[in-house]
C-alpha cells in the first residue's frame, strides 16, 4: 500500500512535505474534516490531491475559477492523475463523457464550479459515485464581509447534509479571524481540525510609494528591475486598464488588458497567453487573477489603492509562487481614498456592511503610512506575529524619517474647522498657503484666521500632512460630499495642545535599484547555452501537449538540472519536481539536451 510520501515523491516529484501538509493529509485520509489557511504557493492543492489518490473514490474540488479549470486538469493529467471538470464551458456531449467517466471510476479528481455542483442533476450524480472527499477551494468566498464573496458558496453546507460520511477540506490563503469564523459557521465545520500556517511570504518585497507621476514610476520600476519578466499591474477602472496597457505597449512591453467589460473570448485569450507565454505584463482590474497558478510572476504593481488589506494580500500573493524573490509595488494618493470612500458610500450594501468596508479601507491606509516594518503590520492584521522586522520591505531597507508635526497639524485641523468641514485637500492647502484664487476670495476664506498661516510649507508637504491625518484617524473623508475633510473626536487633545503628533517626512522615492534581488541569480555566461536549450526544450514540449511551460517543469527544476547536469534517468528523478510520470514522458528529451552539451564540452 502506498504512503502519502510515496505519492508525493513518485507522482508529484517532491522529496518531502512542507509545514503542516502531512498532518492535513493524514486528517483527511482518516475521514476527518479540515480547515486550512496556507499562504499562496504554500502547497494547498497537495493537501487534497494526495488523500484523494489514497482514498477510494473520486475527490470533488469545488472552485470558482472556471477559466482555470482546464489548465488545472491538464497539469494533473501530465502527472498521470486522472482529472476532469464540469462547468458551463463544456458542451452537453463533453458533460456526458465526464459524467460517465465519474460513474465508471475512471477519474481521480473532478473540478466543479459551485453553481454546477448545486444543480439537482450534479448532486444526484455524486450520490451515485464513490466519493473520496470534497475540497472547497477559495473558501473565503463564503464570507459576506469579504472581498471575493460568492453567493453560491453560502449553499455549500448542503455537502454536510447530503454526504455526511464524506470528509471535507476548506482551503484559503486569505482570511482574518472574522472571515475564518464565518467559514466555519456557514460550512458547518465546527468539528473540523484547523490548520493555520503563517501568512508570511518572505520572498515578496513590499514597497509602497506616493503617487508622483505614476506612469513614470511604473516605467522606471519595470525597466530597472523587471525587464523581460512576467507580472501583473492592477488598476481601479477599466478605462485606466486599457490606457495603461496601450501605453506600456508603446514603451516596448508585451502588455495585455483584462477586465470584465472585455468580450469573454478576448479575456480567455489574454489569460491563456499570460499563463502559457513568458514576459507578459497583464494590466487588469481585480477581476483578474484569483487562483492564478503561474509560478513565475515576478512582480505585482498596484497603480491605485486596494480597498482592504485582504484584497492587497491576495493580489500581491500572485507574485513569487515559486518561492523565488518577487516585488509588490503600490502607488497611492489621497485621491484614491476619496474615490474609494465615495464608491463605498454609494454602494447598495447595508449600513453595517458600509461601516466594515470603511474600517477595512482605514486599515489599508494605515499600512501605507506606517513607519515601522510593513510585513509586521500586514501579518498582525491576520493574527500572525512576526517577532522581528523582516528586512525585506521598503521601511526596513530605507527607514523613513519622522518629525514633530504638532504645530503644523494644529494649523491644518484648525483650517478644516474654520472652513466648515466640507472642503477637500486642495482648497484647504490654498487657504493655508494664502492663495488669491477667485474661489478663496469669493467664499471669504481670505478673512479666516488660518488664511496664509502655512506659507512655510509647500503644497506637497501639506498634502502629505492631510493624508497622514486621514490615515491616523484625526480626519475623515465625507463620503457624501466631494472629498471634504471632517474632524474626528480623536483630534481634540491635539487641538488643545495636549498631544504631540509625529509624522513621516516625505522624501522623493529613490531611483529604482537595478534588481534589488533578482528572481533568479544571473546564469553564468558559460551556462547560458544550456539554460536556453533547456528552456527551448520545455517550450517545445509545452506546445506539443497544449499546456503552459511551467506545467512541464518549473524554473527551479530547470535550475537544478543546470547545476547537477543529470545524464541518467535515476539522476534526473532525484531532482525536485521530477516524478515517475514526468520522467517517463519528458525525461529523455531533457537528458538528451544535457548529454549533448556535456559531449560538446569534452
pLDDT at 287 over 70: no
The pLDDT value recorded for residue 520 is: 46
The pLDDT value recorded for residue 413 is: 95
Are both 456 and 347 inside the same structural domain? no
Mean pLDDT of 455-459: 92
The pLDDT value recorded for residue 197 is: 83
Backbone angle region of 473, left / alpha / beta, with phi > 0 → left and psi within -120 to 50 → alpha: left
The pLDDT value recorded for residue 517 is: 40
Q: How confident is the model at residue 361 (pLDDT cuts 50, 70, 90)?
A: confident
List pLDDT tens digits, range 572-598.
Answer: 999 999 999 999 999 999 999 998 887
The pLDDT value recorded for residue 300 is: 96
Q: Using an 8 Å Cβ cutoff, are 102 and 127 in contact?
A: no
Q: How far is CA 220 from CA 7, 136, 216, 282, 349, in A?
A: 45, 41, 6, 17, 40
Residue 515 domain-assigned (yes or no): no
Domain that holds residue 317: 204-397
What's 554's domain CATH number?
1.10.150.80
Last residue of a domain, one of 370, 397, 424: 397
Residue 225 domain-assigned (yes or no): yes
Q: Cell 477599466 identifies what position?
A: 238
Residue 520 domain-assigned (yes or no): no
The pLDDT value recorded for residue 372 is: 84
C-alpha cell at 8: 508525493
Residue 511 domain-assigned (yes or no): no
H-type helices in 55-176, by residue range? 66-78, 92-103, 114-117, 120-127, 158-162
pTM of the predicted model as reported, rounded to 2 decimal places: 0.76
pLDDT at 458 over 80: yes
Instruction: Give 22's DSSP letter.
Output: H
Mean pLDDT of 465-494: 82
Are both 107 and 70 inside the same structural domain? yes
Tell me the Cα Rg of the chain: 27
Are both 250 and 268 inside the same structural domain? yes
Residue 125 domain-assigned (yes or no): yes
Last residue of a domain, one of 147, 173, 196: 196
pLDDT at 40 over 80: no
List pLDDT tens digits, range 107-154.
Answer: 999 999 898 999 999 999 999 999 999 999 988 888 765 556 778 888
Number of domains in the chain: 4
Q: How confident is the model at residue 29 (pLDDT cuts 50, 70, 90)?
A: very high
What's 170's domain CATH number?
3.40.50.300
Q: How confident is the model at residue 518 (pLDDT cuts 50, 70, 90)?
A: very low
**Rounded-to-integer distance, Cα 228 and Cα 226, Å:** 6
List pLDDT tens digits, range 242-263.
Answer: 999 999 999 999 999 999 899 9
**Rounded-to-integer distance, Cα 18 and Cα 287, Å:** 31
Are both 154 and 238 inside the same structural domain? no
Residue 509 domain-assigned (yes or no): no
Are both 319 and 454 inside the same structural domain? no
Residue 519 domain-assigned (yes or no): no
The pLDDT value recorded for residue 371 is: 83
List pLDDT tens digits, range 50-71.
Answer: 999 999 999 999 988 777 788 8
What's 427's domain CATH number?
1.10.10.10
Are both 152 and 226 inside the same structural domain? no
Amino acid at each position: 500500500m502506498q504512503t502519502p510520501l510515496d505519492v508525493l515523491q513518485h507522482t508529484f516529484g517532491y522529496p518531502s512535505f512542507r509545514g503542516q501538509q502531512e498532518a492535513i493529509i493524514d486528517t483527511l485520509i482518516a475521514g476527518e474534516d479540515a480547515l486550512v489557511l496556507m499562504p499562496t504557493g504554500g502547497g494547498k492543492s497537495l493537501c487534497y490531491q494526495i488523500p484523494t489518490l489514497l482514498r477510494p473514490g473520486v475527490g470533488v474540488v469545488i472552485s470558482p475559477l472556471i477559466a482555470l479549470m482546464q489548465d488545472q486538469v491538464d497539469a494533473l493529467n501530465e502527472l498521470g492523475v486522472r482529472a476532469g471538470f464540469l462547468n458551463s464551458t463544456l458542451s452537453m456531449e463533453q458533460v456526458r463523457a465526464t459524467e460517465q467517466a465519474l460513474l465508471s471510476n475512471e477519474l481521480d479528481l473532478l473540478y466543479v464550479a459551485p453553481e454546477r455542483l448545486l444543480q439537482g442533476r450534479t448532486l444526484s450524480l455524486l450520490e451515485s459515485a464513490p466519493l473520496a472527499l470534497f475540497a472547497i477551494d477559495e473558501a473565503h468566498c463564503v464570507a459576506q464581509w469579504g472581498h471575493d464573496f460568492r453567493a453560491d458558496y453560502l449553499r455549500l453546507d448542503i455537502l454536510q447534509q447530503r454526504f455526511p460520511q464524506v470528509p471535507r477540506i476548506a482551503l484559503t490563503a486569505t482570511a482574518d479571524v472574522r472571515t475564518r469564523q464565518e467559514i466555519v459557521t456557514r460550512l458547518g465545520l465546527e468539528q473540523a481540525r484547523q490548520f493555520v500556517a503563517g501568512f508570511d511570504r518572505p520572498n515578496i518585497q513590499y514597497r509602497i510609494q506616493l503617487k508622483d507621476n505614476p506612469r513614470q514610476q511604473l516605467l522606471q520600476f519595470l525597466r530597472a528591475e523587471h525587464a523581460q519578466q512576467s507580472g501583473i499591474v492592477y488598476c481601479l477602472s477599466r478605462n485606466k486598464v486599457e490606457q495603461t496597457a496601450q501605453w506600456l505597449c508603446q514603451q516596448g512591453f508585451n502588455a495585455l488588458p483584462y477586465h470584465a467589460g472585455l468580450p469573454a473570448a478576448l479575456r480567455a485569450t489574454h489569460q491563456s497567453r499570460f499563463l502559457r507565454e513568458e514576459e507578459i505584463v497583464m494590466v487588469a482590474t481585480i477581476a483578474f487573477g484569483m487562483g492564478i497558478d503561474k509560478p513565475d510572476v515576478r512582480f505585482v504593481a498596484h497603480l491605485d489603492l486596494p480597498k482592504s488589506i485582504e484584497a492587497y494580500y491576495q493580489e500581491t500573493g500572485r507574485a513569487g509562487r515559486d518561492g523565488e524573490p518577487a516585488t509588490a509595488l503600490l502607488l497611492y494618493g489621497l485621491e484614491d481614498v476619496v474615490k474609494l470612500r465615495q464608491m463605498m458610500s454609494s454602494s447598495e450594501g447595508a449600513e453595517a456592511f458600509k461601516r466594515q468596508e470603511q474600517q477595512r479601507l482605514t486599515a489599508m491606509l494605515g499600512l501605507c503610512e506606517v513607519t515601522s516594518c510593513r510585513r509586521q503590520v500586514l501579518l498582525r492584521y491576520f493574527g500572525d506575529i512576526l517577532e522581528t522586522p523582516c528586512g525585506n520591505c521598503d521601511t526596513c531597507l530605507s527607514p523613513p524619517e519622522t518629525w514633530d508635526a504638532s504645530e503644523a497639524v494644529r494649523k491644518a485641523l484648525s483650517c478644516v474647522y474654520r472652513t466648515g468641514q466640507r472642503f477637500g485637500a486642495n482648497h484647504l492647502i490654498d487657504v493655508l498657503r494664502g492663495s488669491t484664487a477667485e474661489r478663496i476670495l469669493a467664499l471669504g476664506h481670505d478673512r479666516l484666521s488660518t488664511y496664509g498661516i502655512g506659507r512655510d510649507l509647500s503644497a506637497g508637504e501639506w498634502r502629505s500632512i492631510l493624508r497622514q491625518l486621514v490615515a491616523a484617524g484625526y480626519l475623515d473623508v465625507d463620503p457624501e460630499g466631494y472629498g471634504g475633510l471632517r474632524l474626528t473626536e480623536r483630534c481634540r487633545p491635539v487641538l488643545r495642545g495636549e498631544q504631540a503628533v509625529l509624522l513621516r517626512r516625505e522624501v522623493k522615492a529613490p531611483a529604482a535599484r537595478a534588481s534589488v534581488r533578482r528572481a533568479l541569480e544571473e546564469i553564468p555566461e558559460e551556462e547560458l547555452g544550456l539554460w536556453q536549450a533547456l528552456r527551448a526544450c520545455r517550450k517545445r514540449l509545452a506546445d506539443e501537449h497544449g499546456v503552459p511551460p511551467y506545467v512541464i517543469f518549473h524554473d527551479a527544476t530547470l535550475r537544478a538540472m543546470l547545476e547537477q547536469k543529470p545524464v541518467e534517468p535515476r539522476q534526473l528523478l532525484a531532482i525536485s519536481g521530477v516524478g515517475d510520470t514526468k520522467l517517463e514522458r519528458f525525461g529523455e528529451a531533457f537528458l538528451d539536451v544535457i548529454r549533448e552539451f556535456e559531449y560538446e564540452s569534452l
